[in-house]
């Protein structure tokens, strides 16, 4: 395949290396310094775009790919208020748009474990649930997209919780899932869910050791999406 890389930071570089190691070609590597080169590309020569940029650039990058009929795989977080608009645009163009907050296979299994545990804990009112996430200092959004996905999984099951908030914004009386977001180098990503009571605690966690798992997952999805249509997710890819 001929892959366009949108966002050539640390993740983009690893994705490019993995894609080439799997026999793919890189059509172009676009970042903020050379974004003007996008309109010089021939969309017919691009099989798929992989987008890992910044929140302020992601929406325009995705719109560009959809408008050109290029299937796009995005992992940028921090812009999701605009996703419904992009979903509609994808369907209107009969395109293919794949979004995931995290492309690690292990994390996506962790999402399912988190939902299952939340279902078990939904009626256990003596336990208070909280979350902690730790990432490197270059990560701009907080909480992480992965933490938000985990939070949404908990809120689906524990209906007495109304929303999630960063822990410093939570008052004692609120029915809120508190999330503590820490930025410590060189952590690529740790997420911890805790259910605490006076008697005992229950805790599940996922710790990434490098960005390799995220990057490989994105490339595997890019290989899979090439001939697909619609708004797609990791549930479609993994057939959960």
Q: Which residues carry out catalysis?
A: 135, 139
Q: What single-letter DSSP state applies at residue 175?
A: -
Distance from C-alpha of 226 to C-alpha of 235, rounded to nearest angstrom: 17
| 3-state class (DSSP) for residue 63 | helix
Distance from C-alpha of 16 to C-alpha of 19, rounded to nearest angstrom: 5
DSSP per-residue codes, 64-125: HHHHTT--EEE---S-GGGHHHHHHHHHHTT-EEEE-S---HHHHHHHHHHHHHHHHHTT-T
Report yes or no: 4 and 30 within 8 Å, Cβ to Cβ.
yes
DSSP per-residue codes, 22-62: TT-EEEEEE-TTSGGGGGGS-GGG-SEEEE---HHHHHHHH
Instruction: Please state whether beta strands 128-135 and 190-196 pair in parallel, antiparallel, or not at all (unpaired).
Output: antiparallel
Distance from C-alpha of 30 to C-alpha of 9, rounded to nearest angstrom: 10
Instruction: Please state whether beta strands 96-99 and 72-74 pair in parallel, antiparallel, or not at all (unpaired).
Output: parallel
């Amino acid at each position: 395949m001929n892959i366009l890389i949108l966002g050539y930071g640390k993740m983009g570089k690893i994705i490019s290396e993995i894609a080439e190691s799997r026999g793919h070609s890189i059509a172009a590597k676009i970042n903020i310094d050379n974004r003007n080169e996008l309109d010089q590309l021939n969309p017919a020569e691009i099989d798929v775009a992989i987008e890992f940029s910044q929140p302020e650039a992601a929406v325009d990058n995705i719109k560009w790919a959809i408008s050109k009929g290029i299937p796009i795989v995005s992992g940028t977080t921090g812009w999701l208020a605009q996703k419904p608009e992009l979903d509609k645009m994808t369907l209107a163009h009969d395109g293919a748009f794949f979004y995931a907050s995290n492309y690690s296979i292990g994390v996506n299994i962790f999402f399912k474990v988190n939902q299952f545990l939340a279902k078990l804990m939904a009626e256990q009112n003596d336990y208070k649930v909280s979350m902690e996430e730790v990432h490197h200092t270059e990560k701009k959004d907080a909480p992480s997209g992965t933490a938000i996905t985990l939070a949404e999984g908990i809120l689906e099951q524990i209906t007495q919780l109304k929303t999630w908030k960063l822990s410093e914004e939570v008052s004692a009386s609120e029915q809120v899932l508190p999330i503590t977001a820490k930025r410590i180098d060189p952590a690529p990503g740790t997420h911890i869910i805790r259910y605490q009571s006076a008697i005992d605690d229950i805790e599940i966690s996922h710790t990434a050791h490098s960005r390799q798992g995220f990057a490989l997952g994105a490339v595997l999805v890019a290989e899979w999406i090439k001939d697909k249509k619609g708004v797609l997710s990791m549930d479609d890819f993994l057939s959960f």
